[in-house]
Structure 1
């Protein structure tokens, strides 16, 4: 049995390595084609460009290793059945499941290694890549300008909207510039054409504009307005910077740049946000109900009894609320922190019309949905770190029975089945993520349903191939 185990594993090594390297190179070339035009022309050292693609490899590997497992299993078991080796092994009383056992064990080990890799190495590489790309993008903002788009040259201070851009001559046409650098006034510049250039030191950006107008609006006087026409104008934007900054993002990380522990904290914050909004909504509903009851009773009593009845109704509503702590409203009140209760009560005191109440309830609902979406977003990424590695095991269960059932498929079988299952698996994974982000299904079900469905298919296929007789 040890001889058979070593033989099966030895046959898988070369196809697996070849598939993993080949798929990684193909996807890396795709990244090169997408980013190459954004990297050239920035006077970057070749090592910086190489660093961009090195940091892209871990993310690609996380996708290609499960694919390589399926390709290797399909190829090896198709070859074994084509040479009647599986038939000979079955004739010796060894079932197909025993032949698959070494590969399954390796799949489990690979899944565990990938889970660790996705939680430790991958977030760091994604973060370094994002920081590096952001620094490169800030090195020369002119190369990041997009046509027919408002581009932030200095965020919150200067925006450029070019109609057309000629990258070779750094010229622009039909350009609009929104200048908010002066806190006392806002300027909007329209020009038919112009050119962009950096100073010799590379720190300042210059716009040489022609045939345009400048519209100036003082911020303190909303009705004041000036319009100045010009034939030629030079606009200097100092301190834009032309140096590669590697710490642009600092400690700010996206969901794919965090490990499981960090994402769990963010998910809990989202859930707490939703709970706080739900609790405030319950307190607000209780308070405006109390006000309406007081108002109706005061109308019925009228005159001198109005104040007494208002006080009595207030005491009665507070007593009912305090006695109902075990009910749903009491639970919502208990879940709300003191600050949330005070905020809701303050909002209730500003209640005058049904429209005010509807607007406030809509605000609470929006906050709750925002918190739940944030919670689901990070939970999806948490489960995804385990879902994709487990696909290595699922693809072993799928690949071996299919290859045994169709031994004459050859390369066409490997390519066709691989593409079909890769496409179906990742489409279902992306679809589940979208459903979870929309709060239609739970992140747990959305991310693990593909593995469960494909795993059941593999087990059924294995059982049927075991009963096949020749």
Structure 2
């Protein structure tokens, strides 16, 4: 039985408060981005409030599945970042509660959100998408409101160009009006000039009523078929003239059945049926084209009666085309080549047209398959983004709207680039459609698992010193010592004992160098069959580090500078690659890898020989300095 504890209520309440705010913010941002794509086509249409409200409502429904993952990512980052910043997460872990147990109520809620996202994409989304595109097309086809600017030719009325020099905004009177009427064709244009005019919309909003005063009209009388260069025209002077211009400004919803071929307005069952239908159509189209190509391309040659008899008598099964071509005259060869070229050009054009039909059908099938899988991947993104945001917030321990917002935007941009890029490549046919659609999930799911594992184990992820140390070890780069004079010294070194210990370390280094001959190449077989550690070098390194730690309490600056000459000894790199003998043996059998490891170990042996010589020389200098100045 599921038991809800106070901790679950606290965590879930903290997450829900932030999720509610981030969801509406993300939805608003996506809606503004969607509206920006169509703002130029919608402005100035005089759309009613209910039409705009329907547009915003439908766009919000279609953008909910895209807003959920980003809202979950941002809310998870902020929630667990706040827990870490206020040391609440530390208190929970100190009470023995693991991170996954703390995340449990929010995980269940995100799974519910993933199912909700799938429901919207498969049930609500397709219907809303069809209505939205129908509404957009209808709004695009609506005529704009008549608002003739000053000093510019206005051409939004079909068949008319209107120029107004000056306009009175209060009375609506137009002054110095010039009208080009091309409704009867460009050759029969009507040109009207009027000192003043006024433009009104009829009650049925189907026509414009134009009133003109004190003007002239010029009309070209040339017919379309006339060939005379002398073009007669008619000039008319008027004091008042009224005319009707057809101009429908009412909003009419178009029939949305033309959108039925789109894959984004179908649910998964409809997409499956559409894929089956398209596949059957593509197969029938391919068989028909194959039959046509075989019949039109591979035709039996038309032979004369004498050639046919000759072939039958000599029982020829293969005809040498080159020898036949060489027997022709130059004119016949030219004619044959010209006929062949024309035939190939015709076949190439025919095949290009047929390939266009097949490519379009294949692209439609790939689009349907991609949208089928997209409904699943976008739902899984809600869960994956939580497993990225929650552990990341627990690691960085930063709440608020600063660092979480930056990280959320960067992660979502990465997701969007991978998803849109891979999907576009897959739809073009250059990648498997399933792999392309699931690429973003395959990339981000391991990232979420890695961050969850690291945060649950309290591992260091963003400590740059850890990565620097790893690459130093991988590349064999050592740090140099930096020993400075201490301001407070409790115990000063026993210099007499230090001299004896220096002599002992020098003797051990000399004996090791004489025994092992480090400059020579190592034994290949021993390297990959021996996994023992070098206890002698480990002992020398331990004694040297203890001695350096004791001498660092000295007040002598010269002595402290000498200590910086001591190298850090590598106690294992010159022996074998792994502690496991079988792993060493496997690398030794693989010749290229084993050879590289053998050369690398030889390099570490040479470096160890140099380190031992540096230790011997530094020990000698320290002994002389201590005996001369400190004893």
TM over 0.5: same fold?
yes
Higher mean C-alpha displacement, 76-85 vs 65-74:
76-85
Displacement of 1:14 in angstroms is: 0.4
Q: Which residue of 1 aligns with 2:326?
A: none
Q: Which residue of 1 aligns with 2:349?
A: 359
Displacement of 1:420 in angstroms is: 0.4
Which of 435, 458, 462 aligns to 1:468? It is 458
Deviations 1:230-267, CA, capped at 9 Å, x for gaps: 889999765x6333223443464443333333333443
Q: Which residue of 1 aligns with 2:425?
A: 435
Q: Taking structure 1 as reference, are residues 29 and 450 closer, same or farther at Cα in structure 2, changes over 3 Å only?
A: closer
Paired residues of 1:75 and 1:403 also in contact (CA < 8 A)? yes
SS of the equivalent of 2:361 reads helix
Q: Does 1:284 align with 2:288?
A: no
Paired residues of 2:289 and 2:354 also in contact (CA < 8 A)? yes
Cα distance in 2 between the residues matched to 1:229 and 1:437:
59
Paired residues of 2:201 and 2:208 also in contact (CA < 8 A)? yes
Q: Does 1:302 align with 2:306?
A: yes
Q: Which residue of 2 aligns with 1:50?
A: 53
Higher mean C-alpha displacement, 78-87 vs 249-258:
249-258
Q: Taking structure 1 as reference, are residues 357 and 139 closer, same or farther at Cα in structure 2, changes over 3 Å only?
A: closer
Displacement of 1:36 in angstroms is: 6.5
SS of the equivalent of 1:302 reads helix
Cα distance in 2 between the residues matched to 1:174 and 1:387:
59
Q: Does 1:123 align with 2:144?
A: no
Which of 67, 84, 89 aligns to 1:81? It is 84
Displacement of 1:188 in angstroms is: 6.8
Displacement of 1:439 in angstroms is: 1.5
Larger Rg: 2
Deviations 1:181-204, CA, capped at 9 Å, x for gaps: x9xxx7677799999975553224
Displacement of 1:205 in angstroms is: 6.0
Displacement of 1:13 in angstroms is: 0.8
Paired residues of 1:216 and 1:227 also in contact (CA < 8 A)? no
Q: Taking structure 1 as reference, are residues 366 and 30 closer, same or farther at Cα in structure 2, changes over 3 Å only?
A: closer
Higher mean C-alpha displacement, 102-111 vs 86-95:
86-95
Cα distance in 2 between the residues matched to 1:400 and 1:45:
44
Which runs of no fewer than 5 residues in structure 1 stay unpaired? 146-150, 314-350
Pairwise CA RMSD:
4.8
Q: Taking structure 1 as reference, are residues 17 and 137 closer, same or farther at Cα in structure 2, changes over 3 Å only?
A: same
Higher mean C-alpha displacement, 453-462 vs 91-100:
91-100
Q: Which residue of 1 aligns with 2:282?
A: 274
Q: Taking structure 1 as reference, are residues 99 and 202 closer, same or farther at Cα in structure 2, changes over 3 Å only?
A: same
Higher mean C-alpha displacement, 206-215 vs 269-278:
206-215
Q: Taking structure 1 as reference, are residues 266 and 412 closer, same or farther at Cα in structure 2, changes over 3 Å only?
A: same
Cα distance in 2 between the residues matched to 1:246 and 1:277:
36
Give TM-score scaled by structure 1 length: 0.70
Q: Does 1:262 align with 2:252?
A: no
Cα distance in 1 between the residues matched to 2:412 and 2:97:
30
Q: Does 1:372 align with 2:362?
A: yes
Q: Which residue of 1 aligns with 2:412?
A: 422
Deviations 1:118-138, CA, capped at 9 Å, x for gaps: 122122222223333333444
Q: Which residue of 2 aligns with 1:101?
A: 104
Q: Which residue of 2 aligns with 1:241?
A: 248
Displacement of 1:428 in angstroms is: 1.9
Which of 112, 117, 130 aligns to 2:115? It is 112
Paired residues of 2:46 and 2:144 also in contact (CA < 8 A)? no
Q: Taking structure 1 as reference, are residues 214 and 456 closer, same or farther at Cα in structure 2, changes over 3 Å only?
A: farther
Displacement of 1:272 in angstroms is: 3.6
Which runs of no fewer than 5 residues in structure 2 stay unpaired? 149-154, 318-340, 461-631
Aligned residues: 409
Q: Which residue of 2 aligns with 1:327?
A: none
SS of the equivalent of 2:251 reads coil
Paired residues of 1:163 and 1:175 also in contact (CA < 8 A)? yes
By relative contact order (CA 8 Å, sep 6+), the higher-ranking structure is 1
Deviations 1:264-309, CA, capped at 9 Å, x for gaps: 3443444344333432343234324541x444xx36x735649999
